[in-house]
């Protein structure tokens, strides 16, 4: 039985804590949040105790920590966790600054600890199945990857201001999927960005619409498109063209009900947003972390993956700024 | 080059005549219709001549006739065609009376002629493919057949009055499909009928809604459902359950366009009615008739098929009337 | 907080007990099973105690019982539960004998207790949504209902022998759905049954393949088809034709992955069986029971529903035996 | 009745000539091809005469010409047709050299003639419907366009050598679609190209795999992906994201047959290549040309459209060569 502490009792923290509560081989014992009422409510709901950061790291009974607090705290908490010998399940991104990410990874290298970066989409049942079938060679060699990723609605401008920008906040997930699916590191990328959804986004120097192309050393091609608003719900699709065929993973719907009437055939639109669409993925990623810990296996998504997705986001930011393709270091 | 005469210049006659005009190995030379302006217009459009019935049967150059005139004339024209040695492409049904059908078949037995009964649905590309795959054993042995067949809108009551009733006019197509797909003759059937669409249908002693079940000697099961009105268009679907799988053939749409919006995903409803849905089937059945003639092969759908579909319709009428299952003679 | 005891620690009992364990407003306190190791294992997993039947009914703290033991014990346990003032969540069927069901209902009438009959399919998200949309009038008046229900593989003959036969064991679910969807009681039905899957089924006097048609007083029509074996998985579909349109609810798949290759486009087959397909439905039906209890509302599926599904099954058995349509009393 | 002459009796010429033969308001009177047997065979099939180029332009009875000869003859024939006062239906591209295209357009300006450039895809029923719905504002303002266009199999290297390269030969269709769908001219583009299908393509300095991104002045984004080989058939899809929704037009299949078996659900792969997929589009584009001529309306796709698609191809070639985004003049 693995004992967990969790930093963060917000939206994503609630998901992880309740998922953990339902797992037979792990137990959440401590929750830390500066918002004490939120910490208390979640702790009560999950049979855990409210604790301070210091208490967590001083407690030798705690095997692992879930870092689901605000982004700017991820790196420091990860370093501290490694120092006190605890396994780390860290929400993405490790940090918005590549410099700080590198500092964090260097610190952890001195106190090696299992480090899982929570790129939840890799654990979506459809994406996971698609990847497994790619790996089995079902469509031969990968040649082209197309990722469509659109949020249902523009978040508040206040959120966007502290998000690190669309590329670091939103596309970072797609960069991770692209690396995972291409089977090779991108060697170069080029990005176009626009403000088509709301001029307020432009006013804060960000984009709401993006199209990116990437190329690997062997010439594999990848396209990512993003939009901060899709009136029809959370649009999350992957297409891979291989030498022997094509794999597509599409959206999920609440029901299979189809209506035919005098106008058209009508079916459900996609599930509204990540809480609904990736509910299974959140459960599966935590189970994968626990399974790797229990079986002393390498983490399926690690610190290097967290770093590389940010490297691609940084390159895309540079491409937008300079208006030219950027080689990936 | 086969030379054709055609009886009937109405809606279905126009389809056959224009299809024939586009075929390289056949030529329509004569059109007969009591409605002379209609005959003339169609003749001109197809490069044929208007003729009388007597002229057609006296003309030794004519190889084959298409009987697309009113139902009550089919049997007599078929007999006369056989007597004058012409091949027969006959619209369904041969006649609404089984007695007259039997008299017709007996007369033709004395002057054997190739006799094709135009059950167009057997030539629909999807149904044809489904049948071919059944025959190839793709799903093992046939166990259950389900046929859904619904017209877009109730025809005029005047038409219904002379139609022979829903079972002889509409279900007869489905009875033919059922025999073709079951791979065995039905041994017994049972029918429920209702008037749900329009009470005027009840007033003339007919039904507008039907559900039929049939059983073959070896125990294979079949269900047919019919409705004279489907607000969403012409609904024509087949499902076959076999020992190793299931085959389904669905409706056709005008385009593949799909719209996603804040309410739903929306796609095209089915094509409106038989002229659109079975356009390919009408071409294919005529080509099949010509090919069988040219290659001296047996007709793919013959007089016996025309008779048996009517036998099933008669049994279903009896079942509705007596409220019990009826053995098929 | 409602306190529950549960009879039965088998497959379906395990589902209910673990679902209950995850619900915030209810607690499983006691589990009864003659198979003591099974009872102990499940009790431990859910934080409950092993108890005897007598202990459960003597315990005034227990508010409700889940009857998930063998079918022949349902009626007696329900009567005892009502006598001791406990609410009843009873697995279907109440009993295989209509006589015993009536005796049970009469006994409960004397000691009225909330009685929920667990027709899980009514709580499937797609079926539930379809029914809600029907009720909202999305397709006008119901005219035809078609239910396809096929199990993935023939169960052991030993199971079939004590199952009450295909109509009481399998079709009973579809009879319940039919009543729910038709919005009217069936007035008459007719059934065809065959043994096409395995002659061993015939040897025990049962069927493995069924086609049923039903008619309501106002003329609405319903078709049910059943098979004990569908090589492609659990096939559970509903189609309703209304005066203004059609609603269809289809199967569910594990992923949305689609492969295109030189042969075809390939997608997931349906989920394998009821444990997978109806996992959400099992959770939802228990939540509905608890919600009705908490809010002192009538049970959404009650004893009368349990009885009527059996009445239809009995009529269908009679129809198979006598070879004629049977009026529903 | 419009009288036509046609240059070219090859594959595409045969399509146009036989489509024309079936149209009631036009007649093909002359066919010109240096391959005399091909010209004779097609002429006979369509009831036309074999003629020389000079005869065609000297014949005042000829109203319009179809230019379906080899690409290098298009411009000269178009100029000559304009000079002799004939309307022009010209296969794409007008020429592979922008300089020659401009010379051609200048020459025609002096002898204005109706000039139709045969971008057949605009007349595909699904693409046409999608465009009409865009124009009607069904999804609000266009924001992103994604075009996937893949051929089933690599053509012979000999063909590729004289094709002008993948961008001028294949992507030119997608550039035309992009302009049509974006509702604005692209202001800049960037292209990645690879040889992944066959190294022989690299040896002749061409690509077989492409990913392109484009941006309009107002910031609308477009992605095109191409491949010279898709094992599953001709892959031709369009997706448009608008402010109020999304429209997708997909591939077409030969049948609607779906098979379920122990492995998967299987449906038809896309139609094999352009002859099958765009059969309707070829008919519709010719009908649109004739209709515009008869009604003295502007050509729905004109010389400027032919030129602009080539301008985009030239820019993409430059982008591939220089490795940077290219502004569109």
Task: Provide mean pLDDT across the span B91-95.
Answer: 94
Q: Which of D230, D260, D268 sits opposite C232 (nearest CB)?
A: D260
Asked if the C-beta of C296 comes within 8 angstroms of chain B's C-beta atoms, the answer is no
Q: What share of chain A is helix, strand, coil (3-state, %, to 5)?
A: 40, 25, 35
Answer yes or no: is pLDDT of B258 > 90: yes
pLDDT tens digit string along D112-149?
999 999 999 999 999 999 999 999 999 999 999 999 99
Answer yes or no: is pLDDT of B64 > 90: yes
Measure the CA–CA gap between C130 and A258, rounded to whole angstroms. 9
Interchain proximity A126–C261, CB inside 8 Å: no
- Other Cβ atoms within 10 Å of D106 Cβ, number: 10
Supply φ then ψ for residue B115, to 5 degrees.
-130, 115
Supply φ then ψ for residue A164, to 5 degrees.
90, 0
Interchain proximity A265–B268, CB inside 8 Å: yes
Best B253, B265, B267, B272 member to test A by mutation, with max A CBs in 10 Å, is: B265
DSSP code of residue D105: H
Average pLDDT, chain D: 96
Instruction: Say what the pLDDT of residue D328 is.
Output: 97
DSSP code of residue D6: E
Sheet holding D64-67, edge to edge: D49-50, D26-32, D2-7, D64-67, D87-91, D115-118
Nearest Cα residue to D81 out of D61, D64, D98: D64
Answer yes or no: is pLDDT of A316 > 90: yes
Which H or E run contains D242?
A: strand D235-242
Measure the CA–CA gap between A51 and A67, rounded to whole angstroms. 14
Banded model confidence at residue B12, pLDDT cuts 50, 70, 90:
very high
Banded model confidence at residue B107, pLDDT cuts 50, 70, 90:
very high
Distances from the Cα of B1 to the Cαs of B116, B291, D45, D142, in angstroms? Answer: 19, 11, 14, 55
Nearest Cα residue to C26 out of C293, C282, C301, C299: C293
Measure the CA–CA gap between A207 and C171, rounded to whole angstroms. 57
Q: To the nearest whole angstrom, how far is the Cα of A6 from the nearest Cα of chain C?
A: 21
Best B250, B258, B264 member to test A by mutation, with max A CBs in 10 Å, is: B264
Q: Which of D146, D241, D323 sits opposite A325 (nearest CB)?
A: D323
- C-alpha count within 13 angstroms, C-beta hemisphere, residue A118: 26
Measure the CA–CA gap between C176 and C313, rounded to whole angstroms. 10
Residue of B nearest to C327 (CA): B323
> Could you tell me the two tokens for B73?
């004339």
Instruction: Say what the pLDDT of residue B270 is.
Output: 98
Q: Which of D143, D192, D213 sits opposite A196 (nearest CB)?
A: D143
Task: Provide mean pLDDT across the span A47-56.
Answer: 95
- Other Cβ atoms within 10 Å of C15 Cβ, number: 19
Which residues of chain C neighbour B223 with C-beta distances below 8 Å?
Answer: 211, 213, 223, 225
Sort A134 into a burial class: Cβ within 10 Å, 0-12 / 13-18 / 19+.
Answer: buried
The phi-psi region of residue C206 (left if phi > 0; otherwise alpha if psi is between -120 and 50; otherwise beta) is beta
Measure the CA–CA gap between D152 and D236, rounded to whole angstroms. 10
User: Could you give the maximum distance between any two Cα atoms of chain B, in Å?
Assistant: 68
Can you list the residues of chain C whose pLDDT is less than 50?
A: none
Interchain proximity B225–C220, CB inside 8 Å: no
Asked if the C-beta of D61 comes within 8 angstroms of chain C's C-beta atoms, the answer is no
Supply φ then ψ for residue C309, to 5 degrees.
-60, -40
Answer yes or no: is pLDDT of B22 > 90: no
Asked if the C-beta of C240 comes within 8 angstroms of chain B's C-beta atoms, the answer is no
Nearest Cα residue to A298 out of A119, A114, A91: A114
**Cis link prior to B93 (omega < 30° from 0)?**
yes
pLDDT tens digit string along D272-291?
999 999 999 999 999 999 99
Contact A309, A164 (CB under 8 A): no
Distances from the Cα of A213 to the Cαs of A110, A193, A314, B327, in angstroms? Answer: 37, 12, 14, 69
Asked if the C-beta of A260 comes within 8 angstroms of chain B's C-beta atoms, the answer is yes
Asked if the C-beta of D321 comes within 8 angstroms of chain B's C-beta atoms, the answer is no
Asked if the C-beta of B65 comes within 8 angstroms of chain C's C-beta atoms, the answer is no
Asked if the C-beta of C187 comes within 8 angstroms of chain B's C-beta atoms, the answer is no
Q: To the nearest whole angstrom, how far is the Cα of D312 from the nearest Cα of chain A?
A: 17
> Could you tell me the two tokens for C121?
């399919």
> Could you tell me the two tokens for B329?
């003679």
Average pLDDT, chain A: 96
Residue of D nearest to B124 (CA): D255
User: How far is Cα of residue D295 from the mean position of the Cα atoms in its chain?
Assistant: 24
- Other Cβ atoms within 10 Å of B171 Cβ, number: 27
Banded model confidence at residue D321, pLDDT cuts 50, 70, 90:
very high
DSSP code of residue B267: E
Interchain proximity D221–A209, CB inside 8 Å: yes
Measure the CA–CA gap between D68 and D65, rounded to whole angstroms. 9
Measure the CA–CA gap between B237 and B246, rounded to whole angstroms. 13
Cα-based torsion angle of the residue sequence D157, D162, D165, D168 in order, rounded to the nearest 10 degrees? -140
pLDDT tens digit string along A87-139?
999 999 999 999 999 999 999 999 999 999 999 999 999 999 999 999 999 99
Asked if the C-beta of B216 comes within 8 angstroms of chain D's C-beta atoms, the answer is no
Instruction: Say what the pLDDT of residue B279 is.
Output: 95
Asked if the C-beta of D268 comes within 8 angstroms of chain C's C-beta atoms, the answer is yes
Q: Which of C251, C257, C258 sits opposite A256 (nearest CB)?
A: C251
Task: Provide mean pLDDT across the span D238-252.
Answer: 98
pLDDT tens digit string along A1-51?
899 999 999 999 999 999 998 888 899 999 999 999 999 999 988 889 999
Crossing angle, helix C74-83 and helix C98-110, to 10 degrees?
10
Interchain proximity D255–B139, CB inside 8 Å: no
Q: Which of D141, D210, D324 sits opposite A325 (nearest CB)?
A: D324
For residue A148, list its beta bridge partners.
A225, A237
Nearest Cα residue to C93 out of C113, C122, C71, C76: C71
Q: To the nearest whole angstrom, how far is the Cα of C267 from the nearest Cα of chain D?
A: 5
Q: Which of B249, B250, B259 sits opposite D138 (nearest CB)?
A: B259
Q: To the nearest whole angstrom, how far is the Cα of B256 from the nearest Cα of chain D?
A: 5
pLDDT tens digit string along B166-207?
999 999 999 999 999 999 999 999 999 999 999 999 999 999
ipTM comes to 0.95
> Could you tell me the two tokens for B108?
């033709």
Q: Which of C24, C125, C255 sits opposite A255 (nearest CB)?
A: C125
Sheet holding C64-67, edge to edge: C49-50, C26-32, C2-7, C64-67, C87-91, C115-118
Sheet holding B64-67, edge to edge: B49-50, B26-32, B2-7, B64-67, B87-91, B115-118
Measure the CA–CA gap between C190 and C317, rounded to whole angstroms. 9
Measure the CA–CA gap between C74 and C104, rounded to whole angstroms. 9
Please give the share of chain D, as a percent, with pLDDT higher than 70: 100
Q: Which of B251, B254, B259 sits opposite D125 (nearest CB)?
A: B254
Asked if the C-beta of D213 comes within 8 angstroms of chain A's C-beta atoms, the answer is yes
Tell me which residue has tokens 């016996």.
B304
Which H or E run contains B177?
A: helix B172-182
> Could you tell me the two tokens for A174?
């797609």
Banded model confidence at residue B1, pLDDT cuts 50, 70, 90:
confident
Q: Which domains does chain B have, with CATH numbers?
A: 2-113 (3.40.50.720), 122-327 (3.30.360.10)
Task: Provide mean pLDDT across the span A275-296.
Answer: 96
Which residues of chain B neighbour C231 with C-beta distances below 8 Å?
Answer: 140, 243-245
């Amino acid at each position: 039985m693995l004992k967990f502490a969790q930093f963060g009792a917000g939206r994503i923290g609630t998901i992880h804590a309740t998922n953990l509560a339902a797992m037979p081989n792990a137990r959440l014992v401590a929750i830390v949040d500066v918002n004490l009422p939120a910490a208390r409510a979640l702790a009560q709901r999950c049979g855990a105790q409210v604790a301070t950061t210091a208490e967590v790291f001083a407690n030798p009974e705690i095997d692992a920590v879930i870092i689901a607090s605000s982004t700017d705290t991820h790196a420091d908490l990860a370093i501290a966790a490694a120092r006190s010998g605890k396994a780390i399940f860290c929400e993405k991104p490790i940090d918005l600054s590549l410099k700080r990410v590198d500092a964090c990874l260097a610190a952890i290298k001195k106190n090696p600890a299992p480090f899982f970066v929570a790129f939840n989409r890799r654990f979506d049942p459809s994406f996971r199945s698609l990847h497994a079938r790619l790996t089995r060679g079902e469509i031969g060699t990968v040649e082209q990857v197309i990722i469509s990723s659109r949020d249902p609605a523009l978040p508040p401008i206040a959120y966007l201001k502290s998000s690190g920008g669309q590329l670091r906040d939103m596309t970072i997930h797609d960069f991770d999927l692209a690396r995972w699916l291409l089977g090779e590191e991108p060697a170069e990328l080029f990005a176009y960005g626009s403000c088509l959804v709301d001029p307020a986004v432009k006013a804060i120097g960000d984009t709401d619409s993006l199209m990116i192309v990437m190329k690997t050393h062997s010439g594999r091609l990848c396209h990512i498109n993003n939009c901060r608003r899709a009136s029809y719900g959370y649009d999350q699709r992957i297409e891979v063209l291989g030498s022997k065929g094509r794999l597509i993973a599409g959206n999920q719907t609440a029901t299979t009900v189809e209506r035919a009437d005098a106008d058209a055939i009508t079916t459900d639109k996609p599930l509204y947003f990540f809480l609904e669409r990736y509910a299974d993925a959140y459960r599966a990623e935590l189970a994968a972390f626990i399974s790797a810990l229990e079986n002393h296996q390498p983490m399926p998504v690690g610190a290097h993956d967290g770093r590389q997705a940010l490297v691609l986001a940084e390159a895309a930011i540079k491409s937008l700024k300079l208006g030219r393709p950027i080689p990936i270091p």
